[in-house]
Structure formats: C-alpha cells, structure tokens
Amino acid sequence: MAKALGGKLHSKILLGLLLGAALGILANTLLGGRHPLTEWVNHYVAGPLGQVFLRMLFMIVMPLVFASITLGVAGLGDLRRVGRIGGKAVGYFLATTFLAAATGLFFVGVLKPGDAIDAPVKAELMATYAGDASARLASASAGGFGVHTFVNIVTRNPVKSAAEGDMLGVIFFGLVFGAALTLIPAAKAKPLLDLLESLNEAVIAIVGMAMRLAPYGVTALIFGVTSRFGFALLLPLGGYMLVVLGALLFHALVNLSLVLRLLVGIPPALFFSRVRSAVVTAFSTSSSSATLPTALEAAEQGLGVPPKIAGFVLPLGSTMCMNGTAIFEGITAIFLCQVFGVELSLGQMAVVVVMAVITAVGAAGVPGGSIPLLAGIVAMVGVPGEGIAIILGVDRLLDMSRTAVNVYGDLSATAYVARSEKLWDASLVPAGTLAAERA
Ligand code: ASP
C-alpha cells in the first residue's frame, strides 16, 4: 500500500490531470463542445475509464466507514472519551466551516462578481441549464432539511443505509456497534475486532489497486469536463469562478495555515506535503467520500496520527466538515443576489453564513452533493431557485476545488483532535518515509 502513495504514482496522477485538461481543451477548441468524435471518446473511452476508477473507490467506502468507526470507538474504550473526542471534532468542524463561510462572504461582498453579468448573458445561461436545475431542485425538495434529518441519522436498517449511500446512518451504526463491543467481555469482543481489522486491511489493499488506475481515471474524468465545456462558459462566469477559487485558496493557505500553526503546532508546508495524495485524490474525484480511503492512509501513514483517532474523526469529517463547500455556497448565494438585483441586509447576510454552515454539514460527500441544498439557501434569500442554472455549467471545476479544501479541512481536524488528546504531535510525523515527500 505504501506504493500507492509512491512519488512516481503521485507525479503520474498530476501528469494525468494536466494531460486530460490539455487534451480536453484542445478537443473543445478544435472541434467544438459536442462534436461526434469527442462524444464518442467520452461515451466509450473516457467516461467508462473515469467511472471504473470512481467505482473502485466507492465500492469500499461503506465497509471502510463501518470498520474504521467501529474499531475507532472500540479502540478508545471508554465511552466518555468517545463523547469528548466526538465533541471536540464536531466543535472544530463547525468553527472552521463558519470561518470558511465568513471568508467567502467577505470575498464576494468586496469583489461583487455578480454586478459584471449583463442581462442577455444571464438569460442565455438560464435557458441552457434550466432543465438540469429543475431536476436538481426536484431532488432537493424530496429530501428537505428539518427535525427528520436528525432522526434519520438513527438508521432503521444499516444494510439499507449502506446500500443507499447514507453515510450518517452507517456511521451511527458503527458508533453504536463499537460502543457495544466495549461493553461485552473482552474475550467475546476479540474475534469480531480481529475480523474488522482484517476487513480494514483488505479494503485498504483495494485502495492500492484503485490508485493504480488513478492516473488514467483522472485523465479521463478531466477530459470529460474540459472537452465539453472548454473556454466558452469561462468568459461570462470567469469573475465568479475566480472569486470562489480565490476564497478557497485563501482559506487553505491563510486560515487553515494559521490554525495548523497555532492549534495543531505543525508547519503548514510539512502538513501539506504529508497529505498531498489525499488532496489530489479529492480534486480528481470531486468526492470527499471517495477520498476517505486515501485520506485515512495519509493521516495514518503520512502524518502518523493513531488509527483510532483518524478512523473516528475522518469518516465523520468526510460527511460533516466541508469548509470548501461552505465557501462555495455563501459566495454563490450572494453572487446570485447580485445577478438578480436582490439587496441583502446585514442580518440576512448573517443568515446566509449560518445556512451555508448548516448545509455544508448536511451535504453528501459526492460530486455535486451540495447543489440540492444550495437551492434551499438561494430560495431563502429571494432568488428564483432556477438561478442555480447559471452556475451549473462551471460547477464541476469548482466542485473539484472545493472538495480538495473539504478534505484538507478534515485532515486538519484529525491532527487537531489527536494533538489535543495528547496522542500525537508534529514530532511524531514519520521522517522521510512517505514517498510523496520525495516526489
Ligand atoms: N463534492 C463535495 C464533496 O464531496 C460536496 C459538494 O460540495 O458538492 O466534498
């Protein structure tokens, strides 16, 4: 498995990203967005390749979440300790997500990218993506957000939760199951714990196989995006995209670096070099869930965080802690207000920040997971829900970038919790063993 993080593989993934993007833009520029040849390549080559890579990761997410949460809780032993660590993790998730949303609002409020879009461009964008937007809105209203969101965490059927990708349900079952294992006699718990350890190891070996596919999968996924969308959409929405990307970068480089230095006590450059493989995987898959296996590996082997902490905090973080998503949601809501000429009071802005935090916690860690929830915020501030149509075309690129920040935030949370529990500090980062460092 150490090979999966190897420097050579790592460079290959980055090369794949660049190659896929270059080929896609080239195809788009030479042939246009929906040329039969590009469509053929996307349908028969790039699409399937990208899907196989993503599916290899997705197929192990549920067993991995169950095994790592159960082992994490059972490893912590004392249930009061589990509660304390869980409380710390959730506190950290909320605080950094709040900081992220406020940063996003500051950027969009000062730079005002929405004022630059003219009415005809707006109408054209709406017309192109309206169908897609209404489909997403329909799926949003089917779920909704309310008391039942919390009740539903207590899964009725963990197997069904796993089959339907309901991560919180599986996490909850893992928590209860791990707690139960600490309550029965140790001799009775041991066979199951051993079994779960083996499951964990085997699943991580599958990650190794999937990562061998990564360079090709990544090339294919990026080609699919750039060949369809090229530069055409970039022009009218360029300002908006730059504001989102700038705020994401600011949060990762300034806010989280300060947190890493002050609260975690690790130089940000060292931290980044140890978790780079997870950030690259997040960027290429646009999915915090699909990145979980790589993130666990980076935390445990790259940073040296004890598995019982990483295995507990990271699965929670991958669904609850989405710094990048909060930035994106806050900016997009205000951007659409600017486009539609909706003026917000200071109080309404504060509501947007709070909603961005809540929906970032509620969003699923899958590509485009936050879009249905975004519809809720947008409708609340008085912008027509279909307004989301305006940004859908460029969402994949923003999704990749915000997911990278989401995962970076999750990893910082893990290091923070491990440090505050006095189980880890920067001096325990394994020296020079991670090939990614040498790459
Ligand atoms: N794709 C994001 C993630 O998995 C969620 C989102 O913002 O759409 O972290």
What's residue 128's pLDDT?
65
Residue 15 corresponds to which tokens in the numbers above? 């090369």
Please identify, by atom number, the ligand 1 atom nearest to the C-alpha of residue 407. Answer: 9
What's residue 244's pLDDT?
97
What's residue 139's pLDDT?
52
Torsion angle defined by CA atoms of residues 339, 343, 347 and 352, in that order, rounded to the nearest 10 degrees: -10
Q: Give the C-alpha separation, 109 to 213, whole Å.
A: 42
Domain boundaries along the sequence of the chain: 7-434
Looking at domain 7-434, its CATH class is mainly alpha
What's residue 410's pLDDT?
98
Taking the centre of ligand 1 as the mean of its atom positions, its distance from the CA of residue 290, in whole angstroms, is: 10
Sign of the torsion formed by the C-alpha atoms of 82, 84, 90 and 93? negative
Residues with CB under 6 A from ligand 1: 286-288, 322, 325, 363, 365-370, 399, 402-403, 406
Q: Give the C-alpha separation, 282 to 10, whole Å.
A: 13
Q: Give the C-alpha separation, 10 to 19, whole Å.
A: 14
Each residue's pLDDT tens digit, 274-300: 999 899 989 988 999 999 999 999 999
Please identify, by atom number, the ligand 1 atom nearest to the C-alpha of residue 328. Answer: 7
Taking the centre of ligand 1 as the mean of its atom positions, its distance from the CA of residue 412, in whole angstroms, is: 17
State which residues of the chain have pLDDT below 70.
1-7, 125, 127-146, 149, 231-235, 432-439
Taking the centre of ligand 1 as the mean of its atom positions, its distance from the CA of residue 201, in whole angstroms, is: 27
Please identify, by atom number, the ligand 1 atom nearest to the C-alpha of residue 290. Answer: 4
Give Cα separations from 54 to 19, 151, 169, 311 (angstroms).
19, 30, 22, 21
Taking the centre of ligand 1 as the mean of its atom positions, its distance from the CA of residue 366, in whole angstroms, is: 5
Each residue's pLDDT tens digit, 322-334: 999 999 999 999 9
What's residue 419's pLDDT?
97
* Residue whose CA lies nearest to ligand 1 atom number 3: 365
